[in-house]
């Protein structure tokens, strides 16, 4: 038997039949399985948690975590900005938020993507000198003053994060020592310089590590601003707030992060006195709001092990199979949907229908017994689910995605 991660708090106390947004899992599944159900009330509660912990800091949603239009429509009004990373995401963001609150980061922005962002009035996060030159040239042709921030490849990294994105050679952003020259190039070229964007990592659960990174980022922004000789209107401090996915993970103490950031900002260097600060979050806002429901198609024994074979798998929920950026495969929280809170009576491996041994959503997990026709819930499916999975692999239909009414 191998441990599972913790069932998220909104579901952990449930007994009997799993309810999502007040409706039984089986009712949601009437529409057909497999499917994702998202509860926007859970996202709204996360936003309130953030607001309580961070006074006077903007909250951005990094939409790559879950760009489903109906979910974006629910989140847009709750947050101060949306961060996108392609022209496709830009279109979705523009449908729910004014352009001035949208920023577009990502290496390898094509000319047509730069043009779309400039024409819309979104803020481009410039990732290289070459991109700066293309941005200015395209803006010149369009006759529009582009809004541009500099994305910094920081000389700090987010310690203990699942995915480190700073403190090393990187395709993302511009090395800190090259940033002042880049910003001067943008300002001299007529751009409306919006400030700095620093993203140092993802999925961090240590408040101390996040707070240290934020403090280092504020110091870095001040140093760069001094070298540029101009005050940045906005500093996007990145995010990296993690959520507990696996056994032993504890939630990030965001109140502690908020207190440390308030102290950091209270003592910030004078050049940042009028600067606004933003935190951009993806998974922390949406992961716990989503449940992936799949039906047991078959159960069988092999070599003394029990296998539950579902109609859903890694083609919809790659992350739960451990094949989306994890070094060691560990189990996401799972449950038999009509036996919440019942004691486990067997150890089973929960697998998907794909012809690959990678398609395993639960490796030797302890569960109450499930029979063909029963529903299995995979929690933490609100982020990096449908759009981060190889849905064309093996030709199964896509999963439905449903946003519960608030
Ligand atoms: C992916 C990404 C995020 C969101 O990361 P989460 O771990 O989902 O919070 C935020 N900012 C940037 C620049 C990203 O690339």
Residue 165 confidence (pLDDT):
59
- pLDDT tens, residue by residue, 56-108: 999 999 999 999 999 999 999 999 999 999 999 999 999 999 999 999 999 99
pTM for the complete prediction? 0.96
Whether 280 lines ligand 1, by a CB cut-off of 6 Å, is: yes
- In sequence order, the 6+-apart residues with CB closer than 8 A to the CB of 13 are none
Q: What is the mean pLDDT of residues 375-384?
A: 98
Q: Is 326 helix (H, G, I), strand (E, B) or coil?
A: coil
Whether 89 lines ligand 1, by a CB cut-off of 6 Å, is: no
Q: Is 70 helix (H, G, I), strand (E, B) or coil?
A: helix
pLDDT of residue 27 exceeding 80, the answer is yes
Q: Crossing angle, helix 129-142 and helix 179-188, to 10 degrees?
A: 10
40 cis-preceded (ω within 30 degrees of 0): no
User: Ligand 1, residues 59, 61, 62, 85: which to mutate, most atoms within 8 A of Cβ?
Assistant: 62
pLDDT of residue 386 exceeding 70, the answer is yes
Residue 369 confidence (pLDDT):
98
Q: State the DSSP code for 350.
A: E
User: What's the pLDDT band for 159 if we cut at 50, 70, 90?
Assistant: confident
Domains of the chain, start order: 9-38+287-403 (2.40.37.10), 67-281 (3.20.20.10)
- Bridge-partner residues for 59, per DSSP? 279
In 169-257, which ranges are E strands?
A: 174-175, 192-198, 201-202, 234-236
Three-state DSSP string of 293-304: EEEEEEEEEECC
- pLDDT tens, residue by residue, 14-24: 999 999 999 99
Q: Of 288, 203, 284, nearest to 12 (Cα)?
A: 288
Q: What is the mean pLDDT of residues 328-356?
A: 97
Nearest residue (by CA) to ligand 1, atom 14, is 62
Q: How far is CA 174 from the centre of its chain?
A: 22
Q: How many CB atoms lie within 10 A of CB 182?
A: 24
355 noted as active-site residue: yes
- pLDDT tens, residue by residue, 241-264: 999 999 999 999 999 999 999 999
């Amino acid at each position: 038997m191998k441990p599972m991660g913790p069932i998220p708090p909104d579901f952990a106390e449930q007994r009997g039949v799993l309810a999502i947004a007040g409706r039984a899992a089986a009712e949601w599944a009437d529409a057909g399985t497999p499917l994702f159900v998202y509860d926007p009330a859970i996202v709204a509660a996360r936003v309130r948690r953030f607001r309580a912990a961070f006074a006077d800091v903007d909250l951005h949603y990094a939409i790559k975590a879950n760009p489903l239009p109906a979910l974006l429509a629910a989140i847009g009004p709750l947050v101060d900005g949306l961060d996108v990373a392609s022209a496709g995401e830009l279109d979705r963001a523009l449908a729910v938020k004014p352009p001035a609150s949208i920023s577009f980061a990502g290496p390898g922005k094509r000319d047509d993507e730069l043009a779309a962002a400039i024409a819309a009035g979104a803020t481009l996060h410039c990732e290289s000198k070459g991109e700066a030159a293309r941005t200015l040239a395209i803006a010149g042709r369009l006759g529009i003053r582009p809004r541009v921030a500099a994305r910094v490849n920081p000389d700090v990294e987010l310690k203990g994060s699942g995915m480190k994105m700073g403190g090393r050679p990187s395709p993302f952003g511009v090395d800190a020592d090259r940033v002042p020259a880049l910003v001067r190039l943008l300002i001299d070229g007529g751009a409306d310089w919006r400030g700095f964007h620093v993203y140092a990592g993802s999925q961090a659960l240590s408040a101390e590590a996040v707070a240290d990174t934020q403090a280092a980022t504020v110091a870095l922004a001040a140093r760069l601003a001094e070298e540029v000789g101009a005050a940045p209107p906005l500093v996007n401090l990145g995010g990296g707030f993690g959520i507990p996915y696996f056994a032993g993970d504890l939630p990030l103490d965001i109140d502690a992060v908020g207190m440390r950031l308030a102290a950091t900002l209270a003592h910030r260097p004078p050049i940042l006195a009028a600067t606004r600060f933003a935190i951009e979050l993806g998974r922390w806002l949406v992961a716990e709001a989503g449940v992936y429901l799949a039906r047991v198609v078959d159960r069988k024994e092999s070599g003394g092990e029990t296998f539950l074979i579902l109609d859903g798998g890694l083609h919809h929920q790659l992350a739960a199979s451990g094949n989306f950026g994890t070094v060691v495969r560990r189990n996401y929280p799972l449950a038999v949907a009509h036996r919440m809170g019942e004691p486990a009576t067997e150890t089973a491996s929960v697998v998907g229908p794909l012809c690959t041994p990678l398609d395993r959503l639960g490796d030797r997990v302890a569960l109450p017994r499930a029979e063909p026709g029963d529903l299995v819930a995979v929690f933490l499916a609100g982020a990096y689910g449908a759009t981060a999975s190889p849905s064309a692999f093996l030709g199964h239909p896509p999963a439905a995605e449903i946003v519960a009414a608030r």
